Chains A and B, each alone.
Chain A
Amino acid sequence: MISFLATVGRVFLAFLAHVGRMSAFTAMAVSHTVRPPFYPRLILRSVIEIGYFSLPVVGLTAVFTGMVLALQSYSGFSRFAAEGAVATVVVLSVTRELAPVLAGLMVAGRIGASMAAEIGTMRVTEQIDALTTLSTNPFKYLVAPRILAGTLMLPFLVLVADIIGVFGGYIVGVYKLGFNSATYIARTWEFLEPLDVISGLTKAAVFGFLITLMGCYNGYYSKGGAQGVGAATTNAVVSAAIMILVFNYIITAMFFGK
């Protein structure tokens, strides 16, 4: 019984230590992101890596999501003769929920993992120590450019995903379900409000921040060689995915939870 309590206590203390370390890391990262010196070259590199090279995977996710959504809502809504709502359902679901969350999860897999692996390898091969001895702050050089790029580029990716997702719905709606093209487009615009898109982009910015933060954090504190880097990579993706889901709820509640 005592040993059970001791275990619980130990786990709880470890959890608190973890939360404390992560908060300190976040504070450091943010403060270095907003203060000079900046590294434009590195920011650009991360912007291209996150914004440009994620386009295919995000686009593919979006187009299929839009297509499936159109099919599903058509067959579902036909049960109560509401097929006409397909275009509206597609655009609202995509902009508010699906584009940010799915793009976030895909980018978490792509970028979160590669960042954790890269920074983790730099940690275990002492490259981060070397940065310090060369008068370069690792937070400024490694963490800040990535977090900045992630926070800026995710909204861009999600905007692209919004358009492609709606387009996927349109393709299925018009060519498979037989909607009139002009009607479908009119229906898409009819109930769309700026807040739908804005809330989605806000989520995207938060997710971008979380993904890069988790990638950098887990990489930065990885230890013990290849195995440690592997664990850091897994943790980065899993923790980013969970945080995306949690923050998705929180942000939705803030925007729409009257």
Chain B
Amino acid sequence: MTPKIELTGVHKAFGPKVVLDGIDLSVARGESVVVIGGSGTGKSVMLKCILGLLRPETGSIKVDGEEIAGMGAKDRDRIMKKFGMLFQGGALFDSLKVWENVAFGLIQGQRMERNKARDIAIEKLAQVGLAASTGDLFPAELSGGMQKRVSLARAIATNPEIIFFDEPTTGLDPIMADVINDLIVKCCKEVGATALSITHDMASARKISDRIAMLYKGRLIWVGPAKDIDHSGNEYVDQFIHGRAVGPITMELRA
């Protein structure tokens, strides 16, 4: 079966700074993969390359077997419809009300009628633990964690085939974080979506992932089933999941 997403030898640099240095990853249909890795290692950049928001210098990115590099505008639009993305910073439209944000993909992308889209938006807000009345507020009137959840609701509102979650639980309290974990699992198991997530929260990573990949210095140094993460035999992974300051990964600090 063709993988849902397939990256081969993806390189991305900003000027002299190499961020991705040959990424190979393949995600099967309905699978949930979590990418872990230190801050600033290029996890978000990797997602943006797959979405076509950033253009890698070399390498191939295939979605459902179709190469997306150099794809025409029409095909790209068609591929985009398969995706939902939760941005790390939320990226809510601040000129639109919360429900309009959530319903955006339905109204603009699918040309759904506003009233109908609104009902779906309210339902999605409920799924992320937000009351219907929140829908009439503007994003600036919400707390950081609430914005994150609205953004999550927006990412899943169109029931996309592929969903990217960039740090879905960051900034949430532990209970709400677990509600969101359950929601992500539900999206994959019940709706059959393929998920690629980024998180620093190991509890969340264990819960939502089938496989975990660790990004370090521009490469995926370890990819394996989530249950193997504790005995990966990789000292980088060990250091990371236990959050030790001492180990092979050295933070570039200056005393």
Contact = CB atoms under 8 A, between A and B. Distances in A.
Contacts of A183: none
Given A134-B104, A136-B104, A127 B80 contact: no
Interface string A125-143: 1110110111111000100
**Interface SS, B side:** loop
B92 A132 contact: no
Interface string B88-128: 01011111000000001100111000000000000000000
Contacts of A135: 77, 80-81, 105, 108-110
B84 interface: yes
A118 B96 CA distance: 13
Contacts, number: 51
A50 to B, nearest CB: 16
A130 B101 CA distance: 10
A121 B93 CA distance: 10
Interface residues of B, number: 24
A135 to B, nearest CB: 3
A133 B80 contact: yes
A133 B83 contact: yes
Question: How big is chain A's contact interface, by range?
Answer: 10 to 19
B166 to A, nearest CB: 10
A8 to B, nearest CB: 22
Q: Which of B52, B91, B94, B109 has the most CB of A within 10 A?
A: B91
A141 B108 CA distance: 9
A129 B108 contact: no
A130 B152 CA distance: 12
B108 A136 contact: yes
Contacts of B77: 135, 137
Interface of A: 118, 121-122, 125-127, 129-130, 132-137, 141
17 contacts: A121-B94, A125-B89, A127-B91, A127-B92, A127-B93, A129-B48, A129-B51, A129-B91, A130-B85, A130-B87, A132-B51, A133-B85, A134-B104, A134-B109, A135-B80, A135-B105, A135-B109
Given A126-B91, A130-B92, A133-B83, 7 more contacts: A126-B89, A127-B92, A127-B93, A130-B93, A134-B108, A135-B77, A136-B108
The 8 closest A-B pairs by CB, nearest first: A135-B109, A126-B91, A130-B91, A133-B85, A134-B105, A136-B108, A129-B53, A135-B80
